[in-house]
Structure 1
Amino acid sequence: MRNFIILFKKEMKEGARSGKWVWLPIVLMVIGISQPLTNFYMPQILEMAGNLPEGAVIEIPMPSGEEVLIGTLSQYGTIGTLLFVLAMMNVISHERQTGALAFVMMRPVSAFQYMASKYVAQLCILLISLAASYILTWYYTNILFDHVAWTLMLASLAVYSLWIVFLVAVTLFVGTLLRSSGGIAGVSVVFLSVISLLTTLLPKYMEWSPGNLRAEASNILLEGEWGSSATLVSLSTLALSVLFFGLAVYMFKKFERFGE
């Protein structure tokens, strides 16, 4: 446990030195608040853009607060996923390239402790950044649109956060297989995109898929309750996350020869 805490603190300090604690929350906040601001000021934006017939009146139906937050979740699912992967792609490869990994291997540290410290640290950074962005978006949504109950906001955030839990496990696993940061990012993004695409194309056979998390979070906002399908998707996502993390530990121990 002591080794895990030491490694965890190291990862958190590394996140601060690399600026990840700064740029990731800021970028996500900009992405988040752009959704309610763009929706609210869209008529003015179109009017300022010009090229409209004289006397034309722009009337755009005002979305509800829940619909604005759903749109924000959609932004997290596309741009956000890419940002999360980019924030994690150097977690293992950087230490391999600089030789820091060899130094760690000389210590009485197990592969599980090493990988667990990285998993928990990256999860903390990503989830805190996501929560800060989503809560700020919810605040602006309540000001500009209909009021959305904080309980619904937190419930939808909790469900969507499981996508981050899954994403971190997948990216760490890919990081144990590849040494190039670009390759890690590319394979991770492609894999996650395929999961989302198959979930859309084969809804009957992919009811359990982590790709349904955004839809389940949206349903919570619209219907105001946690459905049985949300439980299925949540449990399967957690199970797959544990599986990919276990594979990451196994492959890392095999390739780096921990314990030999």
Structure 2
Amino acid sequence: MTTGTLIHPSAVIEPGAKLGVGVQVGAFALIGSEVEIGDGTIIGPHCTVSGPTRIGRDNHFVGHAAIGGPPQDKKFNGERTELVIGERNVVREFVTLNRGTVTGQGVTRIGDDNWLLAYTHIAHDCQVGNHCVFSNNTTLAGHVTIGDWVIMSGFSGAHQFCRIGAHAFIGMGALVGGDVTPFTMVAADEHGRPRGINSEGLRRRGFDPERIAAIKRAYRTLYVAGLPLAQAQQQLAEQARDSEDVKAMLDFITSGERRLLR
């Protein structure tokens, strides 16, 4: 334990835990023996942080969160796996973040500057990027990959092994059963369905009208024109010559193993 930490008398810090400068641990929190917590991070009341878990600087776990617990996978047999969390994340009440599995990547990873709101669940082996917002009751099954700047609305979820590309927006209650291309909006129906691009989010992040127009053109090619996927990819390849954003969409499509949500 490092000088400058502030530990509530009722908190339990197991031997072997490593706490950085200025870490705060609230009432009745439990920090396991294989946990590392970076400088300035706040662990709120009634949180449980199990290990092996590594947490970066300046995160805020508000309260009643269960962090670094074993994966909810029947094949898991106590193997050593990890949860790795970056910096400046806000984790609200009753969030659950599970460690990885040896049959997956061995690590669940959360990036930087994310907001994980109440009752969010991120399962084993998920890989979450930076600047994401997961609204209340967002649920990710195992092995899901989330790009940067993704917004998951309340009560939305993703099936195991799905990928959601950067800047995508998943609408309230939408259940994603396939890969979602970058910049795409998905609305709720039986399994979620693409409904345009995330134009407002892109504008807020500084995308100029020309970039947005190129993304919209690519979306229409892929989702509106009624083309077979192979033919749509050929047209996207032509459009990608003049747009790095379209190239990112095309690279996303060609690198996937699951079906595209289409």
Determine which structure has greater relative contact order: mean sequence separation of CA pairs < 8 Å that are 6+ residues apart, divided by chain length. Answer: 1
TM-score (norm 1): 0.22
More helix by share: 1
Whichever of the two has the greater Rg, that structure is 1
